[in-house]
Amino acid sequence: MGRLSKILIKSNIIVQLFSCQLVFSQDVSIQMLGKNINTNGSEFNFFRVDEKTAYFSSSTLESGNYQTAVYKTNIKDNTWQKTTYFHLTDSYNAANIQFLKEESAIYFTASEKNKNQKIYMLKQENMKTISLPKVINKEGFINTQPHITYHLKQKCMYFVSDREGGFGGLDIWVSVIDNKGNFGVPINLGPNINTKSDEITPFYNKWTNELYFSSNKSPERGFDIYKSEGKFNFWSKPIEFEQLNTKGDEVYLNFFNNKEGFFSSNLIINNECSGCNNVYSFIIKEKDTVKQTEYLYNTWLPLSLYFHNDEPDCCTMDTTTKKTYEQSLINYIKLKPKYMSYTNDQKVSDFFSETLKNNYEKLLIILDKILINLQKGKKIKIVVSSYSSPLHNDLYNINLSKRRINSLINFIKEYKSNIFSDFIYNQQLNFTLHPYGEINSDKKVSSNPNDLKNSIYSLDAILERKIEILSITIE
């Protein structure tokens, strides 16, 4: 199950019992919740559903066993009031409650003594509790910490399990939920998220398209909070949420809105251990979002977006196109079998299955980041260059490069129902364009139109046909 020296699985509900020292960040305001919430037990998974109401889990030692239950609280005069027990199940333990405010189903984890926990769903209209299907609650394994969210219009559930097929210890998995409520076969989030250690407490931040989670992958530290950009099982390399992490353990982070949220940690207050795991609120100051954005740009740029040969709109000297980059990409992906018929190169296969799709996902994340800054009144300049392979003559390839850039701008203009159009019109969002054609193409790439394997379908030729987002400047 990996390194669990800092995390005790008592009564099969994950409970943290450890000590650490908090280093406060100037970028984040942190406050420990009051005694109505934090007790001599362990409090975690504080989940605020609206302006007045929140739920959380609390674990206490009862007759030598840790018993965990869910409680409800309301806020009044900026103070969380005394809690009430929230009955979910007759099981010995219940925790990790989460639900979407607009839906009637409540998801949570429950277990009997000394048995692995399972994920359950409570229908509020009839207060009937059911265990999720075996595809989620795989027998003999831990299945816990459900988090329901949407990516665009697609509903899915992230959760934690130590089932086979993972990378070791506890891993984070995702199951896509169809319109009838059926759960798809869980997919491991992959090596960018999961490690041989333990990854737990997933939360998808819909305001920034970031997955937050905790991991104990750093040997010299406990559980730290990390964040990664993407969706489903396409994720960038995680970075630490440094403003909250200490030498101890921080877990169960979630956001109530785009700046405020909660997390759990065991902190020393006035040199005394104040009840093991406690709940804290945090507020991110404005400059943190800008720092995150700049870090993202510096990490992913230049971002390459690729095209099939002589696309979009082959066999023309036009410098503009009505197509979007997304349309060209979809058609390109469909051509993988044809490419593989010319070359049996595994690197070409990997290009189609990984590079094309991953770079597109990064483009979407970057556009969402740009939108956040535009909506805050910032001016942004994007520098884009475009290239072609050496087939055809110089002028033709220059015009082809212009069409490729134009297809990207078309995509940005139409993105999310034309949300960028006004920003482009009033020049709050500007572009600097460099259509280079074949001038910088690798000399080893074939320019022979009769040698299709090397001039079109080889990896060398593939990598020449692209546009690059070179830089993004925030003013």
* Domain co-membership, 380 together with 440: yes
Q: What are phi and psi of 291, to 5 degrees?
A: -60, -40
269 in any annotated domain: yes
CB within 8 A of 377, min separation 6: which ones?
Answer: none
424 in any annotated domain: yes
* Report field, pTM of the whole predicted structure over 0.75: no
Tens-place pLDDT, residues 15-28: 433 333 344 455 78
E strands, 77-220, where? Answer: 79-80, 84-85, 93-98, 105-111, 118-123, 128-131, 143-151, 154-161, 171-177, 187-188, 199-205, 210-215
* Domain co-membership, 161 together with 208: yes
Residue that finishes a domain, picked among 228, 257, 284: 284
Whether residue 418 contacts residue 466, with contact meaning beta carbons closer than 8 Å, is answered with no
Residue that finishes a domain, picked among 260, 284, 308: 284
CA distance 200 to 264: 13
436 in any annotated domain: yes
* Domain co-membership, 276 together with 406: no
What angle, rounded to 10 degrees, do the helices at 286-300 and 356-375 form?
150
- Residue 418's identity, in one-letter code, is N
* Domain co-membership, 105 together with 196: yes
First-to-last alpha carbon distance for the chain, in angstroms, is 48
CATH for 305: 3.30.1330.60
Count, residues in the chain: 475
* Domain co-membership, 95 together with 19: yes
CA distance 227 to 202: 10
1 in any annotated domain: no
- CA atoms within 13 Å, Cβ hemisphere of 79: 6
Residue-by-residue pLDDT tens, the chain, 475 positions: 332 223 333 334 444 333 333 444 557 888 889 999 998 889 999 999 999 999 999 998 777 777 899 999 999 988 999 999 999 988 889 999 999 988 889 999 999 877 889 999 998 888 889 999 999 999 999 999 999 999 878 899 999 999 999 999 999 999 999 999 999 999 999 999 999 999 999 999 988 889 999 999 886 778 999 999 888 888 888 999 888 887 778 999 999 998 899 999 876 544 344 447 889 999 987 654 455 556 556 678 889 999 999 999 999 999 999 999 999 999 999 999 999 999 888 999 989 988 898 899 889 988 988 998 898 888 999 999 998 888 888 888 899 999 999 999 999 999 988 999 999 999 999 999 988 876 666 667 777 878 888 889 999 899 989 999 988 888 7
* Domain co-membership, 345 together with 232: no
For residue 351, the 8-state DSSP code is: I
Whether residue 89 contacts residue 120, with contact meaning beta carbons closer than 8 Å, is answered with yes
For residue 185, the 8-state DSSP code is: P
448 in any annotated domain: yes
What angle, rounded to 10 degrees, do the helices at 394-418 and 325-333 form?
110
Whether residue 44 contacts residue 71, with contact meaning beta carbons closer than 8 Å, is answered with no
* Tokens 């970075």 belong to residue: 239
CA distance 372 to 343: 43
Q: Following CA atoms 424, 430, 436, 441 in sequence, which dihedral angle do they give, to the nearest 10 degrees?
A: -100
* Domain co-membership, 363 together with 256: no
Residues of 303-335 as b/e, b for ≥16 C-beta within 10 angstroms? bbbbbbbbbbbeeeeeeebebbbbbbbeebeee
State how far Cα 309 lies from the chain centre.
33
* Domain co-membership, 369 together with 414: yes
pLDDT at 294: 61
275 in any annotated domain: yes
Q: Range of 332's domain?
A: 298-474
CA distance 292 to 208: 10
Cβ of 50: how many Cβ atoms within 10 Å?
A: 10
Domain count, the chain: 2
* Domain co-membership, 248 together with 372: no
Whether residue 223 contacts residue 250, with contact meaning beta carbons closer than 8 Å, is answered with yes
* Domain co-membership, 260 together with 303: no
CA distance 447 to 46: 62
CATH for 236: 2.115.10.20
pLDDT at 11: 35
